Structure 1
Amino acid sequence: MKKIEAIIRPSKLEELKEALLAIDIDGITITQVMGAGKQMGWKEFYRGTEVSLNVLPKVKLELVAADDKVELIAETIIQYSQTGEVGDGKIFIFDLADCIRIRTRERGDKAL
Structure 2
Amino acid sequence: MDGGAEVSSSSRLVETGEWAGWRTWQGMDPFEDQSGPFYFREDETGRVTCAFRAEPKHMNGGGFMHGGCMMTFADFCLFAIAWRDLAGSHAVTVSLNGEFVGPARPGDLVTATGEVVR
Question: TM-score, normalised to structure 2's length?
Answer: 0.24
**Greater RCO, 1 or 2 (C-alpha within 8 Å, sep 6+):** 1
More strand by share: 1
